[in-house]
Amino acid sequence: MGFFQSLKQKFSGPNYDEMEHEENYLELEPHGEDKGKILVRTYVLNEFDDVKPILDALREGYTIAIVNIRPLKEKDVVELKRAVNKMKKTTDAIEGEIRGFDEDYVVIVPSFATIYRSKQLKEVKEEAE
């Protein structure tokens, strides 16, 4: 019975009541609750100035932006081009990716993410054959 008792102690894990009296351990507090979490956020471009909060969120590095460009597209195509160019420059600076999604949306991801493109998959399949 001593053999089974010693096995039980080895596999049962630490006894937390005993650990409270020991000084050889350290409790670690989590850093920030939201650090490291990815936020997928939607935005609407009604005018050129609506680009600023999008760019600020992208620079923080934890945001994937889904931008509805339709309102600005219907209002002023020249302003839309300015806004998209500004988003492209910031995306390049953070080494992210920006792609059109449907006709009315733009998706922007930080450097740790990639946007799936069906054209890529088709090229990979052709190379494999």
Task: Tell me the pLDDT band of 10, cut-offs 50, 70 and 90.
Answer: low
- Which range of residues forms the domain containing residue 93? 39-116
Q: What's the per-residue H, E or C state across 6-54? A: HHHHHHCCCCHHHHCCCCCCCCCCCCCCCCCCCEEEEEECCCHHHHHHH
Tell me what pLDDT residue 28 has: 47
Residue 122 lies in a domain: no
Residue 9 lies in a domain: no
Residue 83 lies in a domain: yes
Report the chain's mean pLDDT, rounded to a whole number: 78
Residue 4 lies in a domain: no
Residue 48 lies in a domain: yes
Residue 49 lies in a domain: yes
Residue 18 lies in a domain: no
pLDDT in tens, 21-30: 444 444 445 4
Lowest mean pLDDT among 21-25, 30-34, 49-53: 21-25
Residue 8 lies in a domain: no
Tell me what pLDDT residue 38 has: 87
Q: What is the mean pLDDT of residues 19-46?
A: 65
Q: What is the mean pLDDT of residues 59-77?
A: 93
Question: What percentage of the chain has pLDDT greater than the value 70?
Answer: 64
CATH of the domain at 93: 3.30.110.150
Q: Are 62 and 96 in contact (CB under 8 A)?
A: no
The count of domains in the chain is: 1
Half-sphere exposure of 124 (CA within 13 A, CB side): 6
CA distance 2 to 5: 5
- Dmax over Cα atoms in the chain, in whole Å? 84
pLDDT value at 12 more than 70: no
Tell me what pLDDT residue 22 has: 45
More confident residue, 37 or 41: 41
Tell me what pLDDT residue 24 has: 46
Tell me what pLDDT residue 20 has: 47
